Amino acid sequence: MILVTGATGHLGNVLVRELIDTGEKVRALVRPGEALQSLEGMLIEVVVGDILDREALKIAMAGVNTVFHLAGVISIRPGMEEIMHRVNVEGARNVAETALASGVKRLVHVSSVHAFRREPHGVTIDENTPLALDSPFGSYDRSKAEGTLAVLDIVNKGLDAVIVCPSGIIGSHDYFDSDMGRTLLSFSDRKINILIDGAYDFVDVRDVAQGLILARDKGISGEIYILSGTQVTVENLLEMTHNATGTRAVKLKIPIKLAMFAIYFIQRFFQWLKIKSSYTVYSLQTLLDNSLFSYQKAWRELGYKPRPLSEAVTDFLAWHRMHNISSQHKATRKAVNARPVKAAGNSSVR
């Protein structure tokens, strides 16, 4: 039996699909009241619990030989510092310690490339790069670094665990509209696209899911593997979207330093109005910084090989179109079935 935490998320539900396709028995740990549409129709066992609750973790890990720990808080917006630390650090420690106590044979812990210190442009970031334990760029970086360190500490106590660090994930089965999903959709819909002069590394969600399975099967305990993809500029990403949809739009490029100056005030204004902005100081800083990640270790030791990013963009947009059509059909059928129908031979409504 395999346990997946964070199974309803973008990467989580794709990983579950990959595991089921290979005949694995999967148990999903979901939080109380969590939406389950991303797991709809899958033959899996669902257990309700929270990674901050050790008793719930003990129950979830009963009879489990492998744990994929994906649950975490991913936030590039201010105001999430406390919950990020609790989930990304304390939660990771809870999962690792419970896995050791429960006799789990292998834990695959999902961290992030943001767990590594940001290096100057021209320097390749790999698994030898120091962790961002004192990162000045945001609590997300620190929380992922500390969570990684927490798992490694339990490895030193006897846990068999491998850590993987994906870059920016995009792709199909994005049921809850990730930030990057919304960005790609905005590129395909808008007549005018406002571009920031920056770059980042993105990877297909299916490749990361396969990378997690490879880490389970071939990874060395206590080792970290970067699962990155292709470094592209925001303009390159726009062009990939337009090539996939056959659309064109007017491009308005803003120098990133000017955007950094403006976003500081815009972010505070949006925060005051409780509006979710597309860009934040953190996201712009990330586009400005070095994002030259290397997946060579994962390629050599695991056989990891990401597909071309243009394929990921095309497949995501195609999936989103089909998902929208399917959702509309379901909503129509639900509305039809919900209409009052007069029963034959009497006046009751059923």
Highest-pLDDT range among 58-72, 137-151, 237-251: 58-72
- Domain boundaries of the chain, sorted by first residue: 2-176+200-231+291-310
Q: Is residue 137 within 8 Å of residue 282, measured between CB atoms? A: yes
Q: What is the pLDDT of residues 152-208, one digit of tens each?
A: 999 999 999 999 999 999 999 999 988 888 888 888 876 677 777 789 999 999 999
pLDDT value at 317 more than 60: yes
Q: Is residue 147 within 8 Å of residue 89, measured between CB atoms? A: yes
pLDDT computed for residue 330 by the predictor? 53
Mean pLDDT, rounded, for 335-346: 37
Dihedral-angle region of residue 22 (phi above 0 means left; psi in -120 to 50 means alpha; beta otherwise): alpha
Supply the DSSP symbol for 138.
-
Distance, in Å, from the CA atom of 328 to the CA atom of 326, rounded to the nearest integer, reads 5
Residue type, 158: G
What is the reported pTM?
0.87
Which of the four pLDDT bands, split at 50, 70 and 90, describes residue 78? low
Report which of 223, 226, 235, 179 is spatially closest to residue 207, judged by C-alpha positions. 226
pLDDT value at 253 more than 50: yes
Supply the DSSP symbol for 91.
I
Virtual CA dihedral for 155, 157, 159, 164, nearest 10 degrees?
A: -10
| Dihedral sign (CA 83, 84, 90, 95) | positive
pLDDT computed for residue 234 by the predictor? 87
pLDDT value at 273 more than 60: no
Q: What is the mean pLDDT of the chain?
A: 86
Mean pLDDT, rounded, for 40-62: 96
| Percent of the chain topping pLDDT 70 | 83
Q: Which residues contact 42 (CB under 8 A, 6 or more apart)?
A: 16, 17, 20, 26
Q: What are phi and psi of 176, to 5 degrees?
A: -110, 25
Q: What is the pLDDT of residues 6-46, one digit of tens each?
A: 999 999 999 999 999 999 999 999 999 999 999 999 999 99
Q: What is the pLDDT of residues 95-154, one digit of tens each?
A: 999 999 999 999 999 999 999 999 999 999 999 999 999 877 678 899 999 999 999 999
The token duo for 188 is 């395909």
Distance, in Å, from the CA atom of 336 to the CA atom of 225, rounded to the nearest integer, reads 50
The CATH H-level (homologous superfamily) assignment of domain 2-176+200-231+291-310 is NAD(P)-binding Rossmann-like Domain (3.40.50.720)
pLDDT computed for residue 3 by the predictor? 98
Give the H or E element holding residue 231. Answer: strand 230-233
